[in-house]
Amino acid sequence: MSAEASLRKPKTAACAACHRPCNRCLKGGFECIPAPDRRRKRNKVGHSYPEAQFQLFEPEYSSTHLDQIDTILAMLDPRNDVTASPPSDEKETSRNVVESSCMPASLEFFDEVIADDTIQKLSRLGLTDAGAAMAPTFKAYTEKVAQLRSWVTPEQREDMRLQAERERITFVQASNALEFPCVIFERLGIIWHVNDAFRRETGWNAETPTKIEDNAIFQLLESETLHLLYYHFPRVFMSGIRRFAMRGSFKKYGTEEEDYVEGLLSLTIRRDVFGLAYLFFLQFVPDHTIEEPLSDTGALTSLLTATRIYITPRLGANSDILICRLTSEAPSHNCRHQNTDRQRNTPPNRNMSTSVYLNLAGVVPAAYFFFSNLGTSFFGALPVGDTLKVSALTRLQIWEGFFDLAKLHMPTSSHIAGLLLGASAYYAEHAERRYALIAASIPLSLMVPWTAAVMLPGINKMKLILSAKDEQKAESEGLELIRQWRTQHSVRTFFGFMGFGLSFYALGLSALHHRA
């Protein structure tokens, strides 16, 4: 054995270096375990992939013939008459619109001087609270824009700018195709475009886009409309709403006296991928255009000459709309009101005042029936008879006196109350009130059938005992019949409570609906 082999460390386990039985291991009593086949492989270096870029917009065009759309839009860009210039920190202007290093409109800063001047103009117009509400909005908006400007790459800014330009051109083309007045404006009241219908309606003929320091939107809107619009603007800028509508007025130019055109304003708000508002599309529907009858020529001429369609709105606090049938008469008789806030299942012949009067008339006999029966059941002659030491025949005579007095006016009052409340339910406008009146009239109307079917057999037995004046039979049967009658009479009292309570509840509902 060589010296090198003697220095090796003796193995304590079976040899695993060969693929056949090892005699040395077998002699030592160890099992020979074949060594695993370990092939050496070269070390592989993992591929380093670049991070996925942030995509602001999804691809909008899938056809090849629109690949040059950006070039076409650049040719249509009204700001394209300005030549390229080296980057500068100073703001440039092009056609009276503020530019900031090709920054998209939503990421342009509110200049503090211009913002303060806008708030002062609102204050001079008497809109002090609107100006005060906009001041913190300017500050919060500027902070949000500053964070986004530092994060968005130049390529993404260019994509956003092109997207805004495309939407602006789309809005301009859409407004020109409409026959209703439309105004497209940006932040701080910059009017970008007005269509021909707006110029004809209001007589406003200034050039667009307007200068940023003019705040031209102030010149168009009536002061109260401007107040409402700018009162909502903080919510518009700091939330995600995309539309709202309100009543308003536009000034009418070219007249000697100060005149306004009233109608309905609907505002569409365009936002970028970050939710920042940058473009506003205002549509105006004057009242006099809504009241005009529709007319046409061609295939429908014969129909429209015989019939006219009137669509007359009631644009008030309840936002009611009159929906009229085709008729050759004025829309006063064939129109019904449809409330946009809640659905009314009301036949045309129902009148709210008639229903209220019938309800009020029905409450009176219902109250009389309930409280009279309540008093006689707990505080009248029958409860007092229980405390007196009188004979059973005398107690039957006391019951007979009470019964003969009440048998005429009690059923009459319940029956009249049931009829009045049922008629009030027929004329009721609102479903909730109608159901309450029906539920009140049913138990009051069932008083006479209940008395005849359930209580009359016991009443006849007590009448026979009284006619015979049999003391012994009065003691054995009369007291039990009185207790039975009082139990049955408590059911009538409960029915009277239901009728009176529900009729009074329906009367309260009519007051709430009238106030609403």
| pTM metric for this prediction | 0.38
In this structure, the number of other CB atoms found within 10 A of the CB of residue 34 comes to: 13
Of all residues in the chain, the percent with pLDDT exceeding 70 is: 58
pLDDT tens per residue across span 147-197: 787 788 888 888 888 888 888 888 888 888 888 889 888 876 788 888 888
User: In this predicted structure, what is the pLDDT of residue 122?
Assistant: 63
Runs of H (alpha helix) within 388-430? 392-427
Q: Output the six-digit token pair for 256.
A: 């000697």
Q: At CA 136, angle to CA 140 and CA 284, rounded to 5?
A: 95
Of all residues in the chain, the percent with pLDDT exceeding 90 is: 3
Q: pLDDT grade, residue 410 (50/70/90)?
A: confident
User: In this predicted structure, what is the pLDDT of residue 8?
Assistant: 53
- Single-letter code of the amino acid located at 176: N
What number is the average pLDDT over the span 404-410?
81
User: In this predicted structure, what is the pLDDT of residue 185?
Assistant: 84
Complete DSSP assignment for 236-277: HHHS---EEEEEEEEEE-S-SS-EEEEEEEEEEEEE-TT--E
User: In this predicted structure, what is the pLDDT of residue 466?
Assistant: 85
**Least confident window among 7-21, 267-281, 364-378, 476-490:** 7-21
Contact of 278 with 229, CB cutoff 8 Å: no
